[in-house]
Amino acid sequence: MATYLYAITGADHPLQLSGVTGVGDPAAPLRTVRTKKLCAVVSDAPDGLRAKRRDVAAHQSVQERLLADGAALPMRFGLIGPDDAQVVSALEEHRDTYTQRLEEVDGCREYHLKVARDEDDVLREVVRESAEVRRLNERTRQHPEAYDDKVALGELISQEVRAREDRARADIVDRLAPLAVRTADAEPTKQHFLSVSFLVEREKAAAFSEAVHAEAERHGDTHTFGLHGPLPPYSFV
């Protein structure tokens, strides 16, 4: 029977999982797979598992219960091993790495920040600050047939926008990083030029949220800040 993996903890974790069940319909009972120093919370893997709301919620409930009582490394939804023996083998093989990660995330939660900027606002700034953009823009207006100039204008605007986004991204992260244990970048999206996770100690969570709010105020209405958390520290496992 394949083994579904929820999280990894230290062997001394209290593992108070009474009343919590796993994924599947009917819900799979939870069990543990242990080595001398580590423990994996697992269940039998149901056939044809998909990311349905009930199963995702069950997966997260197990992790939230574990995190409430101590350090845990949350696994992504849908992680399945061939059997319990393979889980034990993985725990042994990566023992030092898992132990180090558990020490690092102990008492911490993840906060994920996304920031977007109004497109018209950044384009106005590019035109205002770049003489070459203004020159090419005027030339293409006067000469609509100037294809090469249109291409050059588009490429230059893209470069200028990226440069501003890169500077803004670095500035925001530099201001917030001192309140976090670690940061983990995610790929920017089409809408968001910044997408980054912060590993934050519980006692600093309020200060971190206030710092994000201050950054949003500093950037004004042209920027949209979205902060999600506290979350299990997925990005730092």
Which helix (H) or strand (E) is 161 found in, with range?
A: helix 147-176
User: Which pTM was predicted?
Assistant: 0.84
Tokens of 17: 């999982």
Alpha-carbon distance of 62 to 4, in angstroms, equals 12
pLDDT given for residue 149 in this prediction: 77
Q: How far apart are the first and last CA of the chain?
A: 26
- What pLDDT, on a 0 to 100 scale, did the predictor assign at position 143? 85
148 confidence band (pLDDT: 50, 70, 90): confident
205-214 pLDDT, tens digit each: 999 999 999 9
Residue entry with tokens 């574990």: 66
CB atoms within 10 A of CB 115: 25
- C-alpha 146/C-alpha 141 separation (Å) is 9
Closest CA to 188 of 156, 219, 164: 164
DSSP assignment of 140-153, as one string?
HHH-TT-HHHHHHH
**pLDDT band for position 169 (cuts 50, 70, 90):** very high
Is residue 110 scored above 80 in pLDDT? yes
Residue 237: what pLDDT?
A: 84
- Mean pLDDT computed over 218-236: 94
Q: For tokens 């588009």, what's the residue?
A: 154
| Per-residue confidence band for 223, with pLDDT thresholds at 50, 70 and 90 | very high
Q: In this model, does residue 181 exceed pLDDT 80?
A: yes
pLDDT 10s digits, 121-139 = 999 999 999 998 988 888 8
Tell me: the pLDDT tens digits for 2-47? 999 999 999 999 999 988 999 998 999 999 999 999 999 999 999 8
